[in-house]
Structure 1
Amino acid sequence: MSTFKPARGERLLVDVTTRFSALTFPLLEAIALTGVSWIVIGWLDTSVYAGIDVHNAAVGIWAILLAWRLLWPVARARRQRLLITTHRLVHREASFSEARINIPLANIFHVQKKRRRIILHTRDGAPPLILHTLPRTKRIAAIIATYSRGRE
């Protein structure tokens, strides 16, 4: 999706990814994990039973936990992307798959903005599409409403 090219006659209006504030909890969790882990590693270094192998194993476990609780969520969140052109909406979820949702703006009949979420109702009777963790939701909802209005 990084090589998105609008079709002929389309113009790109919005290109956004996840808000940085959505990454606050993983960061705080990583800080707490690092503090507790290094307290334990320091205690292991002073104990009689611990050698260099125990120290290295504890540091390895800390690194794996840090990657799991910080790097993985950050990488996933940064993969979420929303593109809006004058004719369609393209959304990729926060995952490592290349699956994406492509909705013509003419198919959207109602847009709601509720608490940093955008709820899209389509004409085909599918359940509403809820877009969350996006920046500038008020502006994005207004753009979708403007360009989906009057397109039958």
Structure 2
Amino acid sequence: MAYPDDLLGEGEHVLLHRHPHWKTLCGPLAALVLLVGAGGWLAVAAAPGSWWFPLPWVVLGLGGVLLLWLVLAPLLRWATTHFVVTSHRLMIREGVLTRSGVHIPVARINSVQSRRSLLDRILGSGTLIVESASDEPLEFEDVPGIDRFQSLLHGAVDDESHGERFGG
């Protein structure tokens, strides 16, 4: 999915656009499998003619709420979170109902670091740490292709410090 061009400035273009790493969807997938399995087992256990007739409806309602909370909400959160490097800035936007975002001009980025656990190193993801003119460094977790993000941003910072326009 391309990043909307109407959010870009004059002469700005997207260099890299990613959603959070797919590993963030493993929990919701496990929850889906468990909920379907438990729901199926409870549906068979509370078969029609059982001692308590409303039990299947209670199971169905509870299962629906848990599906929304444990599966659909994280999936929507993943789909609406964007890590974007453009020719002029780093943008992180997220939110389902309420959108929020961080936009850091390349010229204001002082340093770019990453932190990766063993699993992150195997999967190629990690935490991106960006130090800019703001007070505290900003940390963005579960960034896929962390090496590509870091090299693009390092190149942007180097090009800006030498007075060149990055990527354009």
* TM-score, normalised with respect to structure 1: 0.87
- 2:109 maps to 108
- My pick for the range that moved more, 92-101 or 15-24, is 92-101
Q: Does 1:136 align with 2:145?
A: yes
Distance in 2 of aligned mates of 1:28 and 1:48: 30
SS in 2 for 1:102: strand
How many residues align? The count is 150
CA drift of 1:54 comes to 2.7
Runs of 4+ in 1 over 4 A off after TM superposition: none
CA drift of 1:99 comes to 1.5
SS in 1 for 2:31: helix
- 2:120 maps to none
CA drift of 1:94 comes to 5.0
Structure-to-structure mapping, 1:2-151, within 5 angstroms:
2=4, 4-45=6-47, 48-51=50-53, 53-115=54-116, 116-124=126-134, 126-151=135-160
Distance in 2 of aligned mates of 1:144 and 1:129: 14
CA 1:29 to 1:74, structure 2 compared with 1: closer, same or farther past 3 Å? same
CA drift of 1:112 comes to 0.5
Which deviations, in whole Å up to 9, do the C-alpha atoms of 1:35-91 show, x marking residues without a partner?
A: 12221222122674122x332232222122112110111111211102211111111
CA drift of 1:3 comes to 5.0
CA drift of 1:108 comes to 0.6
SS in 2 for 1:97: coil
State the percentage of identical aligned residues: 22
Confirm or deny: 8 A CA contact 1:77 1:94 kept in the other structure.
Answer: no
